[in-house]
Amino acid sequence: MLGPERDVTLRGRVRVFVVWQLPTLLLTAYLATALALTAPHLLASTPIVLSLALVAAASVAALAAPWERWGLAWRIVVPAATLLATVVLRLDLGDLRSIGLLSVLPLTWLAFEFGGRGIVLALAGAFAQSAWTFVGPGTGLSTGLAWVQASLFPVVTIAVVVTARSLAMLLQRKQDDLLASRAALREQLDLARHRLLVAERVTGVIDAGVCYLDDRGRPALLNPYARHLAALAGYDASQPVPVGPPPGSPHRVFYEDRVTPVPAREQIVARARRGDDEPGRLYWVGPPGDQRAMMASCHQLWEGRAPSGGGQHRGPLPGTGTGPGSGAADERADEPPVHLGSVVAAWDVTELTEAVEVRDRFLSTVSHELRTPLTSIIGHNELLAEALENGGHRPGDPRLVRSVDSARRNAAVLMGRINDLLEASREDLADVGGDRSPTDLADLARQAHDRHRALAAERSTTLRLDVPPAPVRVLAQPRLAQAVDQLVSNAVKHSPDGGCVTITVRREDGPNGPDAVVAVRDTGDGMTPAEARQAFTRFYRTERARRSATQGLGIGLPVAQRVVAAHAGTIELDSAPGAGTTATIRLPQERTP
């Protein structure tokens, strides 16, 4: 409202009318009403009527004319016309000494908003109102007091004009400064918003959870991966900012043993809010059987230097202007540090942690698997050597025959274990096992059924075969039989006594055409999601398999997966604790010409 360029909207037009023109319109209406009641003959004067009409017309124009389209500088005609009307009223109603007050607002408006042109018009109007007093007939300016009285109005008008203009210029400068400050603040806010957007985008694409807590401990920045980890830990990730686990939810944060719950006070976010620094600690999060390993750390952020003993950070924060060589650093060296909050970072290290565990278990398993047949071979060889040295042997001695058979059998087991290890170390099976030829998947299932029927009978396990009468052909290498055989072997070994293993061969419609499917289902203990996730990891064995001393090195499924992958197929596991396991191989069926 300080200048015409400020009011470029309809709302601005109304505001200008209310502040500058409406009071003069109301005063003019009061004057007209008073004249009608007290001196109606004066309303017969044409100049008075025209003056009143001019004020009304100027008021309508101030409110209704689209000055924002015509050019706001043209709005000067409104106060100029109003001032002209008040000058005429002053000349015609000179006996009313207060009539000059009608011109105060138009004079001030001209001086306040329209610069030099407005000042010239204001002064001209003021002198015009007093000129008749000096030059008109019968002025009666015979005394000094009369001259003072006649000249007082233009002098006061000059003072009002100058004061109004000075005030307008002062307010204009203040408003310009305010607008400049506002623009600078907007620029800083835009920069901060841009940096925040960049930070959100950067943290959103990294495979790590990042959470920034402000100085009050409230989460101010949380990337999607942090929300994912928070959900695993039992926090309410559906909220914009998870603030804690829902009441009554099971505990989902454990120490490294995966069993001992971490108290809420010792969890990483609580420690960050408490002001602790933690370079890195391993937690297991998630429900039992489907836990993930999380390496979490928290660090306090300070502006300036962190207080001694109050965190890992000991230097000025980047971007605070307090680095070496900065003048601000010298000026603020004695100021206390300002706590900016804390940052919590977490990484999913499940695969790395499980790989270390698999390595350690592999060493133990291999030692056991190789030591057992070696011990048997060595023992029986000692018996043979002792018999030979004592000369107490004879052809067909049953003890010697049993010893030789046992040594031979354990040597074969040992060779099989070594071959399995060599097989697991091979990186590419795509060109191993000969050329591909049409193979009936049902025949492979029958061979595996016949091969493990005796073992299933020993364990009182029912071994069922469900194959279609028509062949289910695929283009396969001889090694594919090993993959099918491995699934059946695992199912029989991990089924309880009296259990049931079912081998099914069928055709299914896949996204790229018909698929040949062989599925092996057992009634064993099943696997947890975490165990199923690692089932195809080389040398991995479940805890139940280790406790039950089931033979194996944990390389059968990984090798089977690689063989199936070499045939452009997939192998999947569907398992749940106590519900058994179904292993399924899907292969593209041979296209018939």
Q: Would you state the pLDDT for residue 200?
A: 78
- Report the relative pairing of strands 513-522 and 500-510 from DSSP bridges: antiparallel
What kind of architecture, by CATH, is found in domain 209-319+333-348? 2-Layer Sandwich (3.30)
Domain with CATH 3.30.450 in the chain: 209-319+333-348
Q: Which band of pLDDT confidence, cut at 50, 70 and 90, is reported for residue 592? A: very low
**Do residues 164 and 108 lie in contact, with contact meaning Cβ atoms separated by under 8 Å?**
yes
- Which has more confidence, 521 or 330? 521
* 426-436 mean pLDDT: 54
Q: Would you state the pLDDT for residue 314?
A: 40
Q: What is the pTM of this model?
A: 0.45
CATH topology of domain 354-425: Helix Hairpins (1.10.287)
Token readout for 287 is 């429900």
Cα–Cα distance between 500 and 460 in angstroms, integer? 9
Q: Would you state the pLDDT for residue 4?
A: 43
Give the residue carrying structure tokens 């709302």.
Answer: 11
* pLDDT tens string 439-456: 888 888 888 888 888 888
Q: Residue 189 pLDDT > 80, yes or no? A: yes
* pLDDT tens string 537-578: 766 666 666 555 455 556 677 878 888 888 888 888 888 887
Q: Would you state the pLDDT for residue 57?
A: 92
Measured CA angle at 416 (ends 414, 417), to 5 deg: 65
Q: Would you state the pLDDT for residue 365?
A: 62
Helices then strands (H, E): number in the chain? 19, 13
Q: Residue 437 pLDDT > 50, yes or no? A: yes
Cα–Cα distance between 133 and 100 in angstroms, integer? 13
Q: Would you state the pLDDT for residue 47?
A: 87
Between helix 22-38 and helix 77-92 the angle, nearest 10°, is 20
Domain with CATH 3.30.565.10 in the chain: 437-588
Q: Would you state the pLDDT for residue 148?
A: 64
Q: Which band of pLDDT confidence, cut at 50, 70 and 90, is reported for residue 311? A: very low
DSSP 12-53: HHHHHIIIIIHHHHHHHHHHHHHHHHH-GGGGG-HHHHHHHH
* pLDDT tens string 49-104: 898 999 899 989 888 888 777 877 888 888 889 888 888 887 778 667 677 778 88
* 222-236 mean pLDDT: 81
Work out the mean pLDDT of the chain and round it to a whole number. 76
Give percent of the chain above pLDDT 90. 2
**Do residues 507 and 492 lie in contact, with contact meaning Cβ atoms separated by under 8 Å?**
no
Q: What is the CATH number of domain 437-588?
A: 3.30.565.10
**Do residues 491 and 521 lie in contact, with contact meaning Cβ atoms separated by under 8 Å?**
yes
Q: Residue 36 pLDDT > 60, yes or no? A: yes
- Which has more confidence, 552 or 522? 522
Cα–Cα distance between 484 and 583 in angstroms, integer? 10
- Which has more confidence, 420 or 87? 87
Q: Residue 42 pLDDT > 50, yes or no? A: yes
Q: Would you state the pLDDT for residue 423?
A: 59
**Do residues 331 and 190 lie in contact, with contact meaning Cβ atoms separated by under 8 Å?**
no
Label residues 169-189 b or e (16+ Cβ within 10 Å = b).
Answer: eeeeeeeeeeeeeeeeeeeee
Q: Would you state the pLDDT for residue 8?
A: 59
Q: Would you state the pLDDT for residue 380?
A: 66
> Exposed, middle or buried: residue 501 (CB in 10 Å: 0-12, 13-18, 19+)?
buried
Domain with CATH 1.10.287.130 in the chain: 354-425
Cα–Cα distance between 577 and 277 in angstroms, integer? 40
Cα–Cα distance between 313 and 404 in angstroms, integer? 71
**Do residues 344 and 297 lie in contact, with contact meaning Cβ atoms separated by under 8 Å?**
yes
DSSP letter at 316 equals P
Which helix (H) or strand (E) segment holds residue 220: the answer is strand 219-222
DSSP letter at 535 equals T
Q: Would you state the pLDDT for residue 322?
A: 43
Q: Would you state the pLDDT for residue 425?
A: 55
Q: Would you state the pLDDT for residue 14?
A: 85
* pLDDT tens string 475-507: 888 888 888 888 888 888 888 888 888 999 888
Collapse the DSSP code of 505 into the 3-class scheme (helix H, G, I; strand E, B; otherwise coil) and give the result.
strand
Name which of 112, 89, 114 is nearest 101 in CA terms.
89
Q: Residue 310 pLDDT > 80, yes or no? A: no
Q: Would you state the pLDDT for residue 199?
A: 79
Cα–Cα distance between 293 and 15 in angstroms, integer? 65
